Structure 1
């Protein structure tokens, strides 16, 4: 009987872990964590994982809440030559089970604390050996999952070479955090910007990571000042919180605020700059590719996402952005058709400006739908509805009944008011047939807005978000309600 050799998964972690003096501060939480402690904790975790049989070519699903434990467990598993399937801690048990069945890891490392939500220094880790699991079948050191905002998440592999290439790109982008600076990392360390642009970049250049357990607006603003923060990495939700503080304490060292994941609302962008004196910049990328383009200092306004990152090769073909990759990032059939002859179709509608070298993202090619024989970009409708001062978030989908708008807004915004607003700004054939207004829209486990009509309805029906009723267009309704509108007519 022939025994197959384990897949070799290269890792360069020794370069990161061994490059800084013992006494330097690696991270700050409620205490200072030195590089010496980081190395001790990684070594300790290596011993624990190795005692469970984890080694070169092992496949490990790692699902831990935001924590120092999560970071040094990941570094330890990579040091052992294992392939890590990084799961978001917010996944529900049924979702976790589906991923385990899909990817079949040999081990599942997790905690039993299902209530964990905010950052905590340490958690107890349980390692579960899975009888039906298989060793790693590819040399990818990292397996991630797309947001699943439109349905089933895609399984995405990142090689060591891919991660090193992205780190090199970050190191060459002007304005990125540098040695001696402090980075408040609010982005999830499970996802690319937080993990690679945040944790790994900071380690490679010698910046200090700062984590906080407090996500209340006043507490976040205080952290910027008290911790002498130089840079913040977050998502629109975090900047929305910070922009709500009317008179925040001075944060004189703050020079950089970077947002990724979703488009930032114009009012948040404006309010943050007024309060903190810093324009919010952008980091545009995909789980499949890593970073693609940046505008870290907020020089440009959306839909411009900045200039293409160093070493990243892109092209616009048929109005869509394609990114050069040496191989397909997809480890399952889902999404594989998007990789053609060494190029990945991002499905983002894009345009290059030759004058200043910027990249403009104007929507999604898969958000184009036909209404009465006319093409409608759902992202355009989202953008226009988002201009209403009471709208906090909006998703527009196309279902069997036509275009639907799902809006998150505070109590008091009526559907009739929003429908009238839409009629003022959109051609008749672009006006949603139905508008649903609820206090907050449902999101995926990693915080992205759901973008499937079926999933949106199921989530809203399951949460009981307000009393919903149907009314004809023009009749007054309250937040948490649904109204039917009409479409048609000439554009």
Structure 2
């Protein structure tokens, strides 16, 4: 990754713009900032195969930190800065970073260009012993997050697939990036693709319709990427003039509901496309124009994809997991995504939902068993079930009458990041079970027991 990123940083001229928010960072500015950050990290002891957690909110600073660490040959472990202390402790125990880079001072929800940083050395950390250079976490079916690694070859191939994709944002164009840069698409489809192709990234203050429309108009952007809720918000506040320069947009992280796609097209005069991928694999399919909906497009570039027993599988050279959690998702060169799907006569992939306990809430993967595990840690909760029907709803069994829904909500706020919080909470004396004693997960049966 060190050689690849170093070459990307040298690819374009000093005056070519790269990032914009209130101010603009050119490729020359970025080279200087990355070199300065790398020198500070090196002085702190970071080097080749160092295992470094990055816990910095989306910002110019965060992107420069990631690039600086890669130029030193370090492994980047990407943490979501919004996670609670309990969630961070779990991820630290899984990844065992030697260093943690975090922002100081107040961290709010709005995009900021710069943060002051602290680099902490952890005495229990271990160096990277595999070739993975980007490590991320995703909800796992056992309630423990999966620890996922991407090596340089995997990341480079994804950047090349984006470069070859029909209709993808090109050099000289401005991309309004609404995706979180702590996660796969923001880092690869956003940062690395832009570095490779000379795309100019624009960041809004927040993901509200007003902020997105304001940034799009001010910077005369050509392209937008985000998640379905971003485009739903825009459809509710139509302003064609603000998006007059936009030639295309696509959504990822979860399927775009057809009604949202239709409302957006009616409001703005063009359709939002779809990009499907996973944390383990990166982007797999892309339909920028949205012409294959309800499908999500054909496989990108050299992607090998199949549907076996109704489940989508992807060919990978090695398992993407750094830790075995006892659940078989990779075997004989094929990774099982957990998505149900089918391929149409033209080779387009159509997704038919998830096959396990993983659901997607506002573009973020949530494992219902992780929510259940957090609830069961409460001293007055005897059992818990989480179900999903458009929103996360939980039922807890409590032997005491003193446990209230507010008690449960407060507990969730302490242990779980905001998007994992249940929208509805029900406290019962006991939860319904099947004839053989297993807890029922049927939403109708649970509702009847209230």
Which of 16, 20, 31 does residue 12 from structure 2 map onto? Answer: 20
CA distance, structure 2, for counterparts of residue 184 and residue 113 of structure 1: 27
Partner of 1:338: 329
Question: Any conservation in 2 of the 1:221–1:249 contact (CA below 8 Å)?
Answer: no
Residue correspondence of structure 1 range 323-362 to structure 2 within 5 A = 323-334=314-325, 337-354=328-345, 356-362=346-352
Which of 119, 124, 139 does residue 127 from structure 1 map onto? Answer: 119
CA distance, structure 1, for counterparts of residue 416 and residue 231 of structure 2: 19
* Bigger relative contact order (CA 8 A; separation at least 6): 2
> What is the TM-score with the length of structure 1 in the denominator?
0.75
1:364 aligns with 2:344: no
1:83 aligns with 2:67: no
Which of 152, 166, 170 does residue 158 from structure 2 map onto? Answer: 166
Partner of 1:301: 293
Change in 2 beyond 3 A, CA 1:256/1:236: same
CA distance, structure 2, for counterparts of residue 445 and residue 248 of structure 1: 38
* Secondary structure in 1 matching 2:181: coil
* Secondary structure in 1 matching 2:207: coil
CA distance, structure 2, for counterparts of residue 21 and residue 150 of structure 1: 48
CA distance, structure 2, for counterparts of residue 109 and residue 137 of structure 1: 20
Deviation at 1:138, TM superposition (A): 1.0
Partner of 2:86: 94
CA distance, structure 2, for counterparts of residue 111 and residue 236 of structure 1: 29
> What is the TM-score with the length of structure 2 in the denominator?
0.81
CA distance, structure 2, for counterparts of residue 244 and residue 81 of structure 1: 45
Question: Any conservation in 2 of the 1:88–1:445 contact (CA below 8 Å)?
Answer: no
1:249 aligns with 2:241: yes
1:310 aligns with 2:301: yes
Question: Any conservation in 1 of the 2:314–2:334 contact (CA below 8 Å)?
Answer: yes
Which of 153, 164, 174 does residue 182 from structure 1 map onto? Answer: 174
Question: Any conservation in 1 of the 2:273–2:289 contact (CA below 8 Å)?
Answer: yes
Question: Any conservation in 2 of the 1:194–1:233 contact (CA below 8 Å)?
Answer: no
Change in 2 beyond 3 A, CA 1:94/1:445: closer
Deviation at 1:214, TM superposition (A): 3.5
Change in 2 beyond 3 A, CA 1:80/1:484: closer
Question: Any conservation in 1 of the 2:285–2:298 contact (CA below 8 Å)?
Answer: yes
Question: Any conservation in 2 of the 1:173–1:309 contact (CA below 8 Å)?
Answer: yes
RMSD of aligned Cα (Å): 3.3
Which of 207, 221, 236 does residue 215 from structure 1 map onto? Answer: 207
Question: Any conservation in 2 of the 1:396–1:404 contact (CA below 8 Å)?
Answer: no
Residues 342-392 of structure 1 deviation map (CA, whole Å, 9 limit, x = unaligned): 1111121121112x221111122336xxxxxxxxxx99xx9xxxxxxxxxx
Partner of 1:54: 46
Partner of 2:254: 262
Deviation at 1:40, TM superposition (A): 0.6
Deviation at 1:295, TM superposition (A): 1.3
* Secondary structure in 2 matching 1:308: coil
Question: Any conservation in 2 of the 1:218–1:248 contact (CA below 8 Å)?
Answer: no
Which protein is bigger by CA-based radius of gyration? 1
Deviation at 1:334, TM superposition (A): 2.3
CA distance, structure 2, for counterparts of residue 364 and residue 316 of structure 1: 14
Question: Any conservation in 1 of the 2:173–2:200 contact (CA below 8 Å)?
Answer: yes
CA distance, structure 1, for counterparts of residue 174 and residue 354 of structure 2: 35
Residue correspondence of structure 1 range 97-108 to structure 2 within 5 A = 97-108=89-100
Deviation at 1:164, TM superposition (A): 0.5
Deviation at 1:118, TM superposition (A): 2.0
1:276 aligns with 2:282: no
Structure 1: 4+ residue segments shifted above 6 A = 395-403, 444-447, 467-470
Deviation at 1:468, TM superposition (A): 9.1
* Secondary structure in 1 matching 2:14: coil
CA distance, structure 1, for counterparts of residue 428 and residue 385 of structure 2: 18
Moved more, 11-20 or 44-53: 11-20
Deviation at 1:198, TM superposition (A): 1.2
Change in 2 beyond 3 A, CA 1:154/1:401: closer
Question: Any conservation in 2 of the 1:254–1:278 contact (CA below 8 Å)?
Answer: no
Which of 265, 272, 277 does residue 285 from structure 1 map onto? Answer: 277
CA distance, structure 1, for counterparts of residue 367 and residue 140 of structure 2: 16
CA distance, structure 1, for counterparts of residue 338 and residue 146 of structure 2: 14
Deviation at 1:484, TM superposition (A): 6.2
